[in-house]
Amino acid sequence: MFASPDPTDATAGFSGRAPIFPLPNASLFPNVLLPLHIFEPRYLRMVEDVRDSDGFLALALLKDPADKDYATKNCEIHETVCLGKVVAEEQLEDGRYCLLLQGLSRAKLLAEVPTDLPYRTGILELLTDQYVSEPVIDRDHRKQELVAHFSRLFPQLGIEQKLLAALDTEVALGELCDVIAHAMRLESEVACRLLEQADVDERSELILELLKLQCRDADHPPGFPPNFSLN
């Protein structure tokens, strides 16, 4: 799902400190909405605390998705995270929560705060998209390239014309990259590379190459071309 908040307004009440939710495979990007199912006791406590405070929550990716320390505060996480805010919630009868988290901003984890809480807490520095003053690409053309390849990869969505119509005024290149990255359901290491890339032109290059690669794979699935008999 897509959300395009004003990042200044959306993070205006952020204190610089937020709970950290490490996950092995699920990633969050700015400008998107991510549904989450919370059931572990430590994270149920985290949700309750977030509800009672400012609603901010940072999603982090594990450096090793198979880390044996995942159930502790010792598992290593990438220092670039995504700050989000809970925009909808539902508590189920058994105490579990269904959340909708809105991605707001890339952030750098400066330090973790020692607490007696069962979950981790960090001091974050918000990061903004970087647009170099002398771009080496035509950004309007790049947006059209990204939409064309994405539409080719997911033709059933039928969104090419709608997106192309919105590109001129509504969607910045950095936002478009993040929305596409979210929709592609990338492996954690690839998602992390994109999250760490603040330079929007470089991020768009990475996204375009990923789209081209997936389009080639879709055009030539495993076993294509077939092995021809020499008889």
pLDDT at 225: 41
pLDDT at 8: 55
Domain extents in the chain:
7-127, 139-218
E strands, 42-119, in order: 56-61, 80-91, 97-112
Rounded to 5 degrees, φ, ψ at 84 are -130, 175
Q: What is the pLDDT of residues 177-192, one digit of tens each?
A: 999 999 888 888 999 9
Predicted confidence band of residue 1 (pLDDT cuts 50, 70, 90): very low
What token pair was written down for 1? 């799902």
User: Residue 207 CA to chain centroid, in angstroms?
Assistant: 13
The CATH class of 7-127 is mainly beta
Predicted confidence band of residue 73 (pLDDT cuts 50, 70, 90): confident
pLDDT at 151: 84
pLDDT at 42: 93
pLDDT at 230: 37
Spatial distance between the Cα atoms of 200 and 7, rounded to a whole number of angstroms: 16
- Coil, strand, or helix at residue 22? strand
SS3 string, 141-173, reads HHHHHHHHHHHHHCHHHCCHHHHHHHHCCCCCH
Lowest mean pLDDT among 44-48, 118-122, 166-170: 166-170
Q: What is the pLDDT of residues 195-229, one digit of tens each?
A: 999 999 999 999 999 999 988 877 654 443 444 33
Q: What is the pLDDT of residues 110-166, one digit of tens each?
A: 999 999 999 999 999 999 999 999 888 999 999 989 988 888 887 765 555 555 555
This prediction's pTM:
0.84
pLDDT at 158: 53
Virtual torsion, Cα 23, 25, 28, 29, nearest 10 deg? 140
Neighbouring-strand partners of residue 143: none
pLDDT at 5: 46
Q: Is 182 exposed, middle or buried (0-12, 13-18, 19+ CB in 10 A)?
A: buried
